[in-house]
Amino acid sequence: MSELTAPTPTAERQATLWSDAFRTMRKRPDVIIATLVLLLVFTMAAFPGLFTDKDPTTCIGREAKERPSTWFTGDHPLGTDAFGCDFAATLVHGTRPTITLALSVIIVSALLGLVLGIYAGYYGGWTDGIISRGLDVFIVIPMLMGAMLILSLFRGRVSADNLFETIAAPTLALTLFGWMEFCRYTRAATLESKNLDYVVAAKCLGASDRRIMFKHILPNAIVPVTAIVPTTIGGIIVTEAALAVLGIGVQPPATSWGVLLSKGTEWAGGGYVYLFAWPLALLILTVFAFATFGDALRDALDPKLR
């Protein structure tokens, strides 16, 4: 009687799509620069104390509107704003709400889109009908308009004390109108891979629907979704800023880059351009870094382009 021996796993690591992508991206100088910028921004959000020792809420009226004549040195490296608060501290402390908001929106909407997309693609029929119709409906209203609608209809002047209350309303509004693209990509990928041999094999072996969806189809479907995540984060940061300029995003006295921008516009014309230019530059730099990273990621994850 012959005995079946299990094949011993080889020590050699297999080249997966992800490790290939990582290796491709590591070689590109633009990706490295973008990653450094993003790391800087994330550090600012996580540890604002590393960049400034001032408290953005202690404002001295006597020192209001000091131009940043002593560049990057002295008491106020970036000058002070209209109320005498240290501008560098305000800018650094405004990073956390911006980044937290963008990340929470992206996580919730990507999860929502993934789950809905997989269900629509896998089950087809009336499940797909309902979800696809929902997609059509939400796509008609672009993210900014939808968020404007929600925030203007349900606006209440609440004084927000902590981070959660500050960003809750804009996060909710942006998520509600941000999940469609993820859902569409996932649905398409699911439709493509649900009739592949290995999925059919899993089905023949009696795997449950849920196991097939999340163990076999999801790893394929997640690739196109990942490729659009960085670019979408950039888009969310910008939309938040646009909402703040409209006066319905994050509410002052809480700060975010958008709030700083909208305050800065009032002073830019009067000769205090730095109050506007700094948040603008930081915003553009971050979004550009996200876009560059996303563009490279999209290429690296597309096997056809190799």
Q: Which of 39, 145, 196, 201 binds another protein (CB under 8 A)?
A: 145
The answer to whether 134 and 117 are in contact (CB under 8 A) is no
Q: What tokens does 250 get?
A: 């994050």
DSSP assignment letter at 141: S
| 40: contact with another protein by CB under 8 A | no
Q: Which of 139, 158, 196, 201 binds another protein (CB under 8 A)?
A: 139
Q: Which of 144, 202, 207, 223 binds another protein (CB under 8 A)?
A: 144
Q: Which of 17, 149, 202, 223 binds another protein (CB under 8 A)?
A: 149
Q: What tokens does 80 get?
A: 């002070």
What is the spatial distance between Cα 209 and Cα 225, in angstroms, rounded to a whole number?
Answer: 21
Q: How many CB atoms within 10 Å of residue 9?
A: 6
What is the spatial distance between Cα 21 and Cα 23, in angstroms, rounded to a whole number?
Answer: 5
| 32: contact with another protein by CB under 8 A | no
What is the spatial distance between Cα 253 and Cα 157, in angstroms, rounded to a whole number?
Answer: 11
| 252: contact with another protein by CB under 8 A | no
Residues 205 to 244 in contact with another protein, rule: CB under 8 A: 231, 234-235, 238, 241-242
**Residue closer to another protein, measured from CB, 24 or 59:** 24
**Residue closer to another protein, measured from CB, 218 or 244:** 244
Q: Which of 59, 103, 141, 160 binds another protein (CB under 8 A)?
A: 141
Query: Whose CA is closest to 229, among 280, 188, 186?
Result: 186
Q: Which of 25, 31, 105, 287 binds another protein (CB under 8 A)?
A: 287
Q: What tokens does 27 get?
A: 């070689």
Determine the 3-state secondary structure of 35 from DSSP: helix
Query: Whose CA is closest to 257, among 105, 96, 107?
Result: 96
Q: What tokens does 55 get?
A: 């408290």
| 153: contact with another protein by CB under 8 A | yes
Point out which residues bind another protein (CB under 8 A): 133, 136-137, 139-145, 148-156, 231, 234-235, 238, 241-242, 245-248, 261, 265, 268-269, 273, 276-277, 280, 283-284, 287-288, 290-292, 295
